[in-house]
Structure 1
């Protein structure tokens, strides 16, 4: 018996340029000054986790390091705090990717939450070691927001893969 949550649609291979374009858009979103608003997701971490789970051959720890350094530069943060957190996030996402993909997107978000939370804990620890103060518990709301955004992000980022190569009005996909 087939699981009811699985789509019967066939995904085309992802285009590498689309993966990195989405990561650059996430990088630009992370540069938007939001002040200290609690709950604003870490867009780069969220998309890195998504692509490390979905396309582990394309996005890995090297891309996580590069985007982490770019976020550090853009935020004026302690050099390496985002890079370290993103590399650990990419490693963990690659490690659990096969298991996570067995679940429906809503269940995947529950399993991604600890990964996003772990990346934030690493960033807070690096900041505190560098002499900064604890940012408060509301800082960790962005992990929950990222997990909630996993479901719509899942459908938006996979949408280009659902399009057929050649259009046919008689074909259902």
Structure 2
């Protein structure tokens, strides 16, 4: 694949870094932060990022298991987050080749409907199980995730932007 003009050539990602970043965000998602409905789902962002940038290294089974873990921790309907994470990873993998041509800001704008659909799906599952409507503040979560997407992209791509060797003769 020909790289877009001006895009930096990245080093290969280490599988240990993918596992570390997913595990760290999973542990952060287990913290009791008050259960605000407007909080962005950082685990979904990181799963989506790795599924988009390295589809072969982020299987749907990992998203399913992490979703079950979040369901158990949040005492949500079992499978609510698992289904959402699997669908988000599927769509990220499906459109990964097209999305890599865009900048993180443009990607964030194009991912806003996916973020919104994920939260609407979780809300519908909750309401079908007898839960109450969480209010319109739930619409803030996809917007916050869209705003966080370029920051998450910059943080997770930082280790791949390192130089292989510190050498003044090789600019890559």
Is the pair's TM-score, using the shorter chain for normalization, greater than 0.5?
Answer: yes
| Native 8 Å contact 1:93 1:115 kept in 2 | no
Following superposition, the deviation at residue 39 of structure 1 comes to: 3.4
Aligned to 2:91: 92
Q: Is the 8 A contact 1:13 1:161 kept in 2?
A: yes
SS at match of 1:57: helix
Structure 1 regions of 5+ residues with no counterpart? Answer: none
Paired residues, number:
170
What residue in structure 1 maps to residue 112 of structure 2? 113
Q: CA deviation at 1:37?
A: 3.5
Asked if the contact 2:77–2:126 (Cα under 8 Å) also holds between the matched residues in 1, the reply is: yes
Deviation of the 1:112 alpha carbon: 1.4
Q: TM-score, normalised by structure 2?
A: 0.91
Distance in 2, matches of 1:135 and 1:100, equals 32
Whether contact under 8 Å (2:25, 2:42) holds in the other structure is yes
Q: What do residues 25-50 of structure 1 show as CA deviations (whole Å, max 9, x unaligned)? A: 11122122222435321011111111
For residues 132-151 of structure 1, the aligned pairs below 5 Å read 132-151=131-150
In structure 1, the residue matched to 2:77 is 78
Gaps of 5+ in 2: none
CA distance, structure 1, for counterparts of residue 84 and residue 152 of structure 2: 21
Deviations 1:70-112 (A, max 9, x none): 1111111111100011111111111111111111110000111
Whether the aligned pair in 2 keeps the contact of 1:89 and 1:118 (CA below 8 Å) is no
1:162 aligned partner: 161
Q: Could you say what the CA RMSD is over the residues aligned between the two structures, in angstroms?
A: 1.7
TM-score (norm 1): 0.91
